[in-house]
């Protein structure tokens, strides 16, 4: 009986040893599978990240190109507005020029600030410029003036723009009407002192709905004439500015 018991015990143990051996042999295989799976997954993730980076880069490039095209469109639009303004004062159509301004616009000219489209700015164009026949284009060949040099800088939000344009125009200054001879000359369209002025015109634009308007103009004469600067403001000078620039 004892001998039989020993045999039974050995026969029972043998399968257990085989099972244990199988279990130990399968663990390296599992680890190898996990490593391979991990490498494959890492490759997929790396490819996904690289793809996302390329997509983001392409999107950024598209956005930059769209912004450049938008700024070019705005630059052309404000140039057209200034050209319309320049053409209007060249032809003496001062009312047309005035219509290109915003309600709260201002113009800096000859040492004075003319404020408000329906007040100071209107006074400048419909009285001062009109009386002096100011604004007519005059050809110039000055070596220090490049009449083709234009700088336009639209804002990123597409709501405003700043620009600098060269100008060469005739400026007329009405003579003192307190003198009788001047009064007589003015009746016949005379009594005006004319000179040529060249320089740069700094202009600010704002988007008004779907169109562009001029919000500010500053005439910067290359060789300012001290005698032409305003010395009195409105209403002491009936065609003078609202304030003086020191």
Which tens digit of pLDDT belongs to each residue from 59-89? Answer: 777 888 998 999 999 999 999 999 999 999 9
Residue range 14-18: average pLDDT? 45
- pLDDT at position 32: 57
- pLDDT at position 46: 58
**DSSP three-state, residue 122:** helix
Which tens digit of pLDDT belongs to each residue from 86-96? Answer: 999 999 999 99
Q: Please check the confidence at residue 176 and state whether its pLDDT lies above 70.
A: no
- Alpha-helix runs per DSSP H in 99-204: 122-123, 130-132, 180-187
Within 10 Å of residue 234's Cβ, how many Cβ atoms?
18
Mean pLDDT of the chain: 81
Which tens digit of pLDDT belongs to each residue from 129-160? Answer: 998 889 999 988 777 788 888 999 999 999 99
Q: Which CATH architecture has domain 76-244?
A: Roll (3.10)
Work out the pLDDT band at 183, boundaries 50, 70, 90: low
Instruction: Determine the Cα angle at 213 with ends 161 and 95, to 5°.
Output: 145
Give the percent of the chain with pLDDT over 90: 53
- pLDDT at position 25: 44
In this structure, what token pair is assigned to residue 86?
A: 């320049």
Residue range 108-127: average pLDDT? 97
**Residues 192, 131 contacting (CB under 8 angstroms):** yes
The Cα–Cα gap between 169 and 199 comes to 9
Residue range 2-24: average pLDDT? 42
Domain boundaries, the chain: 76-244
Work out the pLDDT band at 187, boundaries 50, 70, 90: low
Work out the pLDDT band at 7, boundaries 50, 70, 90: very low
The Cα–Cα gap between 118 and 162 comes to 23
The Cα–Cα gap between 81 and 197 comes to 22
What is the number of residues in the chain? 246
Residue range 153-169: average pLDDT? 96
Q: Please check the confidence at residue 28 and state whether its pLDDT lies above 60.
A: no
- pLDDT at position 162: 98
């Amino acid at each position: 009986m004892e001998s039989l018991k020993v045999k039974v015990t050995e026969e029972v143990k043998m399968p257990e040893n085989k099972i244990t051996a199988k279990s130990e042999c399968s663990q390296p295989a599992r680890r190898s599978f996990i490593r391979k799976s991990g490498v494959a997954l890492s490759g997929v993730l790396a490819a996904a990240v690289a793809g996302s980076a390329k997509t983001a880069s392409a999107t950024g490039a598209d956005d930059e190109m769209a912004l450049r095209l938008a700024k070019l469109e705005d630059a052309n639009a404000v140039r057209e507005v200034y050209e319309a303004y320049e053409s209007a004062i060249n032809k003496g159509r001062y009312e047309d020029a005035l219509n290109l301004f915003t309600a709260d616009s201002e113009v800096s000219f000859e040492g004075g600030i003319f404020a408000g489209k329906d007040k100071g700015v209107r006074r400048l164009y419909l009285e001062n410029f009109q009386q002096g026949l100011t604004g007519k284009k005059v050809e110039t060949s000055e070596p220090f003036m490049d009449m083709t040099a234009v700088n336009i800088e639209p804002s990123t939000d597409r709501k405003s723009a700043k620009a600098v344009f060269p100008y060469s125009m005739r400026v007329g200054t009405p003579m003192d009407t307190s003198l009788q001879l001047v009064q007589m000359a003015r009746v016949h369209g005379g009594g005006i002192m004319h000179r040529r002025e060249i320089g740069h015109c700094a202009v600010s634009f704002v988007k008004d709905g779907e169109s562009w308007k001029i919000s500010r103009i500053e005439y910067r004469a290359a060789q300012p004439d001290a005698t032409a600067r305003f010395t009195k403001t409105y209403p002491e000078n009936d065609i003078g500015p609202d304030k003086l620039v020191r």
